[in-house]
Structure 1
């Protein structure tokens, strides 16, 4: 029965590690996407509208 608990502990530890890895990767991808959207050029007519404010 001791071997079963060791296997269960390994599986749980691997699942927690996978969750942390996926969360970190998602946060990195979100930052890259936000940077892409912020640096994306706007259409010329929209720039003219914003300059008048």
Structure 2
């Protein structure tokens, strides 16, 4: 049985490229989701401002 190394090499390269592209897309989507979750909240409005509170922004 003769093994065709050219076809196996091409398929292996295509698989590696597919895996790399999938990982890159996944990282981009993860960044977008992380930014969305970090920035998608409403800040609670404080009626009483504490002097000891360092984050007493309005």
TM over 0.5: yes
1:33: Cα distance to partner? 0.1
After the TM superposition, list the runs of 4 or more consecutive aligned residues in structure 1 that deviate by more than 2 angstroms.
none
Matches within 5 A, 1:35-50: 35-42=35-42, 47=44
Q: Which fold has the larger relative contact order, with Cα–Cα distance below 8 Å and residues 6 or more apart in sequence? A: 2
**Larger radius of gyration between Structure 1 and Structure 2:** 2
Point out where structure 2 has 5 or more consecutive residues left out of the alignment. 54-58
1:23 equivalent to 2:23? Answer: yes
Task: List alignment gaps of at least 5 residues for structure 1.
Answer: none
CA shift digits 1:5-39 (9 cap, x unpaired): 00000000000000000000000000000000011
The number of residue pairs the alignment matches comes to 48
The TM-score with structure 1 as length reference comes to 0.73
